Structure 1
């Protein structure tokens, strides 16, 4: 009769030493399942090669050579490392990864480009050299951050010609490596986001870092209302009021006016109570403005805009 597996440790029964702290990096390819099946194997092989090359260009050869509990996830890759290297992983490595993906995509000869989401975290994980090392809450949270709405939405909303990398940094990682001043990037390069995963009981404060940003970084659909409001409070008063001039006139005496990209003349007046009348390009629209507004907007507004407060 074969020996039974070792039972799991009973939590909360006695004190034990914490496992060693490890930095964790996980990456995922955007729209992996959208690629034809014949390309999946090639993408899976290319991702660790691109990680290795970008780390070498960053002077982090040893980090790759000494990586802990490495594992391919098919559409991505994950490994642990000495957390002392985390400031260098944030910068310059993320920037080098952006550059090498740009170079790779330029020479991909018509094949769909490779764009990556990156998640960075720090925490205690078993690391004794055995097969199932690296499993624990910090590892789980790293993957949850990687699948969270803000980093997915940011990469999707940005230009595929410019932004090849979107990184999300856990709050612990940000406090230890960025806010402390050890990373060669000012905290203002990072954007606070509420990280949530659809269908999962997961909600954490985290930070987006985009080495080559494009598009609208302060989109309510990505960052959440309270984050955008905080960002807007930091904008000088004259910018908060918007740019005046040209043929664009906006008034909101008793309501709100959407801000966005306007071509041609526009005049919008909200007249007290529930009576809203708009003149846009010579057309008169009566009643409430309901539905999706297309343009460079902060959010989508539905219903009576004079009811309640955000």
Structure 2
């Protein structure tokens, strides 16, 4: 008590919050479509099933050791952290096919109320782990991608699909555009969206079993939002811009519901061939040649099979140089 008779307040002690160091991980985010409207008992069953399906795809198919991945529940799905030593191209091949196979088996065994379809995202970046709390911009960015409205709409349009897979642009650039065996660049299309904080973002989406995501137009098509670089169309800063140097991903067909091309389908051309004259327009300029892939895609001169490479494709035909898918 001071000389005035008032009680002295205890001194305020400053505390320093020590944040754990971040570590690099591959991040897999899985969300169940239409989870919340279902009865509680169904939600419990789906909660168990999504763990089984995801674990099968990662451990049995992608070869990730049981101790090599960590997961946390998200109510309507799960978040998985994988070590940075895991191959991203292996995940895009084997994890994807494993998920598809496991979902087919699950949905064949169960009544409609207990069937599930998923929105799945893959990312890579630093994550801070503090107990069951996992934070980091990579986790937040992936959650926004998986929850984006274009992703929900694509899955709704893909009636026979079991899930969609979304990637951030940087991971798509580092993996899909590399044309690794078993990964079909034409099966991916870009989509743009705006976050609740009014941030413009771009992701890439594929639907296993479809030549390209249904309901999502090719980049640059007029009157369609969410498929071109901000504001529509392809600009100089867009991969595959005016120089026509890239055909990966951007040249996939629009999937179910897309308008058929005006040119007849023909067999796919292996990489390395010069542009044929009949694939050019009346002025002798390079144009688009529509093809139907029956037995797999030619990627970098090698034929690659797989369930994601069949169906209608659109390839860019250049006036000079190789034909690229």
Structure-2-length-normalised TM-score: 0.60
Q: Give per-residue Cα distances to partners, 1:145-188, cap 9 Å, x unaligned.
A: 110112111111111xx200101111111122222345630322
Task: Specify the SS of the correspondent of 2:167.
Answer: strand
CA separation of 1:172/1:219 partners in 2, compared to 1, >3 Å: closer, same or farther? closer
Q: Give per-residue Cα distances to partners, 1:198-244, cap 9 Å, x unaligned.
A: x4434322110111228972535986353796799888xxx64478x
> Take 1:20 and 1:157, find their aligned partners in 2: how far apart are those partners?
37
1:224 aligned partner: 226
Task: Specify the SS of the correspondent of 1:32.
Answer: coil
- Unpaired segments ≥5 residues, structure 2: 1-12, 218-222, 235-248, 254-259, 265-325
CA contact (8 A) 1:44 1:74 kept: yes
CA contact (8 A) 1:18 1:124 kept: no
Does residue 36 of the first structure (1) align with residue 39 of the second (2)?
Answer: yes
What count of residue pairs does the alignment treat as equivalent? Answer: 225
CA separation of 1:59/1:125 partners in 2, compared to 1, >3 Å: closer, same or farther? closer
1:204 aligned partner: 201
Alignment of 1:95-174 (within 5 A): 95-127=97-129, 130-131=130-131, 134-159=134-159, 162-174=160-172
Q: 1:87 aligns with which of 86, 89, 92?
A: 89
Alignment of 1:72-83 (within 5 A): 72-83=73-84
> Take 1:163 and 1:240, find their aligned partners in 2: how far apart are those partners?
24
Task: Specify the SS of the correspondent of 2:164.
Answer: strand
> Take 1:174 and 1:120, find their aligned partners in 2: how far apart are those partners?
10
Does residue 51 of the first structure (1) align with residue 51 of the second (2)?
Answer: no
Farther-moved stretch of structure 1 (87-96 vs 183-192): 183-192
Q: Give per-residue Cα distances to partners, 1:249-268, cap 9 Å, x unaligned.
A: xxxxxxxxxxxxxxxxxxxx
> Take 1:33 and 1:82, find their aligned partners in 2: how far apart are those partners?
31
Task: Specify the SS of the correspondent of 1:126.
Answer: strand
CA separation of 1:7/1:146 partners in 2, compared to 1, >3 Å: closer, same or farther? same
> Take 2:35 and 2:252, find their aligned partners in 1: how far apart are those partners?
38
Q: RMSD across aligned C-alpha pairs, in angstroms?
A: 3.4
1:213 aligned partner: 210
1:180 aligned partner: 178
Alignment of 1:283-298 (within 5 A): none
Task: Specify the SS of the correspondent of 1:95.
Answer: helix
Q: Give per-residue Cα distances to partners, 1:29-73, cap 9 Å, x unaligned.
A: 0000121122111211221111112223314241x43113x2101
Task: Specify the SS of the correspondent of 1:31.
Answer: coil
1:196 CA displacement: 3.6
CA separation of 1:232/1:71 partners in 2, compared to 1, >3 Å: closer, same or farther? closer
> Take 2:177 and 2:251, find their aligned partners in 1: how far apart are those partners?
21
CA contact (8 A) 1:150 1:222 kept: no
CA contact (8 A) 1:177 1:183 kept: no
- Unpaired segments ≥5 residues, structure 1: 10-16, 244-310
> Take 1:56 and 1:81, find their aligned partners in 2: how far apart are those partners?
11
> Take 1:158 and 1:207, find their aligned partners in 2: how far apart are those partners?
16
> Take 2:97 and 2:208, find their aligned partners in 1: how far apart are those partners?
5
CA contact (8 A) 2:166 2:205 kept: yes
CA separation of 1:181/1:82 partners in 2, compared to 1, >3 Å: closer, same or farther? farther
> Take 1:175 and 1:84, find their aligned partners in 2: how far apart are those partners?
19
